[in-house]
A and B are shown apart, each in its own frame.
Chain A
């Protein structure tokens, strides 16, 4: 699939969503803070692992190697 096709689908999704969400309020500070806390907690699993430089490069290498198989 080409980059253009993905972009076209995303633009259609956004256009449809924009219509739906028009006039509806965005999330407030409390909600956004709750999401931020949740996301940071979820990310801790890998943050801890990747705090070692060696692990960062291993993860990157595993990913690159997986593409070559």
Chain B
């Protein structure tokens, strides 16, 4: 990953009600997709933040929402992921003791993110302490029809997503240094600066 030359330009939109908000535009062949990265503090855990990431879209009523199950993309996933990590760099540079936790909300995306982290782990570890964690939780799985845009053609498919409103963590089992061999079993990923502070 090239964190300077091969990322999209990020706009820090500010901190609104303690939520750090970043925006960038994924652009391929004049097709612009607005991407949002949000970092919200976990109640009562001063240094812990939850990572949110999705497309800024409008619903049928014309209202904005962040769609984190959207499959509308420009097939530029590596550049998008590098840009998300560049947002985390900016955030951690200002908040060096913070930890960022990420739960994928669809099976497909969660697996994809972990694969991409695994593929780029060595480079990511130059900057971050990357960890994986196990949790015991209950969650309702919802099946949802989804439209995917591939090569300018719309396809429909059914995806399984976690109903995050219903998700209940019973306990966090363990946290460890991200291990590629075990990564498929991680329920969440944790990013911090780790050794950089030494």
Contacts and interface: CB of A to CB of B under 8 A. Distances in A.
A7 B93 contact: yes
B23 to A, nearest CB: 6
B68 interface: yes
A49 B172 contact: yes
Nearest to B176: A66
Contacts of B195: 1
Interface in B78-132: 86, 89-90, 92-93, 96, 99, 101, 103, 105, 126-127, 129, 131
Contacts of A41: 164-165
Given A1-B126, A1-B196, A38 B11 contact: no
A45 to B, nearest CB: 5
Contact of A13 (B3, B167, B190): B3
Contacts, number: 164
Interface residues of A, number: 52
Contacts of A66: 131, 174-177
Given A39-B50, A44-B164, A67-B194, A27 B13 contact: yes
Interface residues of B, number: 65
Contacts of A50: 42-45, 48
Given A63-B99, A66-B174, A13 B16 contact: no
B7 interface: yes
A55 B43 CA distance: 12
Contact of A3 (B63, B126, B197): B197
A38 to B, nearest CB: 4
Nearest to B131: A66
Interface of A: 1-3, 6-7, 9-10, 12-14, 16-17, 19-21, 24, 26-27, 30-51, 53, 55-56, 58-60, 62-63, 65-67, 69
Given A16-B4, A44-B167, A49-B169, 7 more contacts: A13-B4, A39-B19, A42-B164, A45-B103, A49-B168, A51-B44, A66-B175
**A-B residue pairs, 5 tightest by C-beta:** A20-B9, A38-B66, A39-B38, A34-B64, A17-B9
30 contacts: A9-B127, A10-B93, A13-B4, A13-B7, A17-B9, A17-B10, A19-B9, A27-B21, A27-B23, A31-B56, A32-B21, A34-B56, A34-B63, A36-B19, A38-B65, A39-B38, A42-B68, A42-B105, A43-B52, A45-B103, A46-B48, A46-B50, A47-B42, A49-B168, A50-B48, A55-B172, A63-B99, A65-B175, A66-B131, A66-B174
